[in-house]
Structure 1
Amino acid sequence: MAIYQQIGKSYDLTRRTDPEIAARLAVHLQIKSDSSYLDVGCGTGNYTLALAKMGGVWHGVDQSKQMIDTAINKSNIVAWQVAEAEVLPYADGIFSGVLCTLAIHHFVTLIPAFQEIYRILNTGHLVLFTATPEQMSKYWLVEYFPEAIHKSAEQMPSLEKVRYALDEASFNSVKIEHYSISKNLQDLFLYSGKYRPEIYLDENVRSGISTFALLASADEIATGCQKLAADINTGRITEIVKKYENNQGDYLFVIADKVATSTKG
């Protein structure tokens, strides 16, 4: 199921690597120059390529042929393949680390996908970048696009479900790091406009975000944008943003380990 086929054409107009996020991913993966790494749900390969420049031998896999074709056209320093996360076309234990950014909600089921990732890992880290439904319920976007955000949050597995699936797949020592949106974020994913609300009025930005491109009705977008534009003009948006501030983070890094001493699996 190529969920991103519809938005793949314009994806790279607004979706590009954010250096801060890439740096955190690299730290959590503990990249070594002589090791191999896999990006699952790599999309058009922005983060894959950014991390490949930091070292290691990289592979990228995505279920969307259109995304992979775009990635291939960018660079051949990564070995790109079209495949589902639940059936990865790699031998057992060949990777030292696996990455998955903003994509686990597209897995058909978490446990088989995590089992496959566990299988292809030798020892090393699985690093996920995701958001939970609880976090998304605190996005101020709820004020303007309630149905779309609700539908989007419903797609996201809770942290409890992620932890359970990782445990079932035999991963060890799951660590969590909260991530809060910065004001100069360069990758325009769903809540990237937390401090720049005007970006949601741009159709190009919305077309690169699956919540708007795939889940929001035209009526809700029109009504929400009209209300948002009015609140930006009057300055009321400042109050709205403040109302939704919290200390739970806007997204999460989840780091799970496969260790050599594990007797699980």
Structure 2
Amino acid sequence: MALYDSLGTTYHLTRRPDPRIAALIHAALGDATDVVNVGAGTGSYEPACTVLAVEPSRVMTGRRPPGSAPAVRAVAERLPLRDGAADAVMALLTVHHWSDPAAGVAELCRVARRRIVVLTWDQEVFRERFWLVREYLPEVAVLDDARALPVDRLAAWLGGARQEPVPVPYDCTDGFGAAFWRRPHAYLDPRVRAGISLLAQTGEDVLAPGLARLAADLASGRWHDRHADLLARDSLDVGYRLLVAER
């Protein structure tokens, strides 16, 4: 997990849990009595009943706040847990990083007694609705095309999960990929880009021409003219989805 050993050093600066997204995740977990968080990172969105975090990156686990659930360094494909170890298992914006998503999902199903909650995104919707990828950085979509798991396939692997849209608030505090859809200047900040795996993995040399066009369009007002409709919106569906599977 070398990527997150690198990103983890600044991750806490831009990836703070958003309370509105937290509310959706916790509602999906429902009345779960104990939760395991797989691909847990720094512990964002963990409910109070979290009993264990599973995360392969030493740097990320080191950034977990005091009082967090205990963490074990392991990968989703080989969870160090017995069958039915937790009432619910959650995996948030992590499946696309797994080396073998099918094996990882099978492990989630093995460990969860009642419920599995996965936060992911629909790549087709993301490509169509997210202006940064569509207009300025189409090159980065190539990476997501390769790693993004089709939502319907993931739902099927989970045994038939329901899908819930996760609208992104205009002032989202969690700086994931499309979090700054109404704050375009943020994507010009290297600290913001460092917390977004899609951009961090693509590389600054590839991003530079598109970011230069974005900077020019912001300076001229062209971006604001083109996207005036976005400036009146409080949230946007950019393709993020919660998958909730009952065991």
Match of 1:182 in 2: 169
Q: Is the 8 A contact 1:88 1:116 kept in 2?
A: yes
1:55-204 paired onto structure 2 within 5 Å = 56-71=49-64, 74-123=65-114, 125-138=115-128, 139-142=130-133, 143-166=135-158, 171=159, 173-204=160-191
Deviation at 1:228, TM superposition (A): 0.7
Percent same amino acid at aligned positions? 31
Q: How many residues align?
A: 241
Letter of the structure 2 residue corresponding to residue 97 of structure 1: A
Q: Distance in 1 between matches of 2:226 and 2:145?
A: 20
- SS of alignment partner, residue 184 of structure 1: coil
Deviation at 1:47, TM superposition (A): 1.9
Q: Distance in 2 between matches of 1:57 and 1:201?
A: 36
More moved, 36-45 vs 248-257: 248-257
RMSD: 2.1
TM-score, with structure 1 as normaliser: 0.84
Deviation at 1:84, TM superposition (A): 0.6
Q: Distance in 1 between matches of 2:58 and 2:120?
A: 23
Q: Is the 8 A contact 2:36 2:53 kept in 1?
A: yes
Deviation string 1:165-187 (CA, Å, 9 cap, x unpaired) is 22xxxx3x411111222111110
Deviation at 1:79, TM superposition (A): 1.4
Deviation string 1:40-73 (CA, Å, 9 cap, x unpaired) is 111111222xx22xxx2421111212111222xx
Flag the 1:243–1:151 CA change in 2: closer, same or farther, 3 A: farther
Q: Distance in 1 between matches of 2:31 and 2:223?
A: 41
TM-score, with structure 2 as normaliser: 0.90
Letter of the structure 2 residue corresponding to residue 70 of structure 1: R
Deviation at 1:8, TM superposition (A): 1.1
What residue ranges of structure 2 are gaps of 5+ in the alignment?
none
Q: Is the 8 A contact 2:117 2:245 kept in 1?
A: yes
Match of 2:18 in 1: 18
Deviation at 1:2, TM superposition (A): 3.9
Match of 1:261 in 2: none
1:181-260 paired onto structure 2 within 5 Å = 181-216=168-203, 218-241=204-227, 249-258=238-247
Q: Distance in 1 between matches of 2:85 and 2:180?
A: 38
